[in-house]
Amino acid sequence: MTEKNLSNIAIHTITNRPWTTEQCIEEYSKAGIGGITFWRYSFEGRDPKKVGEQARNAGLNVVSVARGGFFAAESKEDRKKAIDDNKKAIDETHAVGAPSLVLVCG
């Protein structure tokens, strides 16, 4: 059987929940996966910059962070919370070293 080249695919961490962030990095790397998208829960209790370094040290390309968005709100207070959360998501995306943040804008 021919071994498959998986270096051109990326997997979202939510795909393998309840694996830890560290398990995702380790297992994707062992499988020869080329990239990873971190869902924001992956940073809970962790420094996003260090998470990005761990992924790159394991040979993974940090493709994106999922997710921001959900700007629509019934009150000004809820809209402000959504905007503030998205600002945090932008900071996390920058810290982890991902070139993009996935948004669900509705």
Q: Is the pLDDT confidence value at 1 over 70?
A: no
What is the pLDDT averaged over residues 61-88? 96
pLDDT 10s digits, 21-41: 999 999 999 999 999 999 999
Is the predicted pLDDT of residue 82 greater than 80, yes or no?
A: yes
- Indicate if the pLDDT at residue 68 is higher than 70: yes
Identity at 83, one-letter amino acid code:
I
Task: Give CA–CA dist 81/77, Å, rounded.
Answer: 6
Considering the chain, what is the average pLDDT of its residues?
96
Peptide bond into 67 cis (omega under 30): yes
Give Rg (Cα) of the chain. 15
